[in-house]
Amino acid sequence: MGMNNINLEGMKSFAEEVKQDLAKSKRIKKIECSWNFDERKPQMAAKLQHPKGETTVHSDLAPFMGGTGSAPDPIQYCLFGLACCFAGTFMSTATTMGIKVESLKVSAENSLDFSKTVGLTKNPITEKVKIVVEVKSGATQEQLKDVEKLSRERCPGVYCLVNPIPLELELVPAR
């Protein structure tokens, strides 16, 4: 790994491939979540495939939504994904700009109104999402603002939040 624990050569190689053929920029990410009926275990599980193996994650609804709270709830995973996606984009962007980062913490939080979820109102479920980036670097504040701006524009997680994305939902019989 290079500066900031980023594989800059891998990024450059990918960028060059895409420059030669834009179709190589396309990827499909997929997970499959299964519901668990054993009350002694978290309600949901998914096996996440990655280049060096597989990781199983578990989730459980919060007790006020019908779970036991025995594992992180789905919204926490959404926020974790957003924070990680933004952190990765921020570090990749800083690295390509030659900026050394000494420490980085990214927090993501949302304000929720569950009245629609329980069928009582038509209020928006998510009222707002906030990302806080705590960064230590020898770079100027202006340089870090440039990294933040580019990261906001380039982060897939942020993109999903701020742009309408077509949703296809298909109900199929179990195999």
| Structural tokens at position 32 | 């499959």
**Residue 36 main-chain phi, psi, to 5 deg:** -105, 130
Q: What pLDDT score does 1 carry?
A: 77
C-alpha to C-alpha distance for 77 and 81, rounded to whole angstroms: 6
* DSSP secondary structure letter of residue 4: G
Residue 168, SS3? coil
pLDDT the model gives residue 175: 85
Mean pLDDT by 10 residues, the chain (175 residues): 91 95 95 95 96 97 95 97 98 97 98 96 96 98 98 97 95 93
* All structural domains of the chain with their residue ranges: 3-18+74-162
Check if the beta carbon of residue 41 is closer than 8 Å to that of residue 30. Answer: no
Which tokens belong to 117? Answer: 């979820």
Element (H, E) at 112: strand 101-112
Query: Is 3-18+74-162 a domain of CATH 3.30.300.20?
Result: yes
pLDDT of residue 2: 81
Residue 164 pLDDT: 94
Cβ neighbours of residue 143 closer than 8 Å, sequence gap 6 or more: 97, 99
So what's the pLDDT on residue 20?
A: 97
Question: Which backbone phi and psi does 61 adopt, to 5 degrees?
Answer: -60, 150
Give the type of residue at 160.
Answer: C
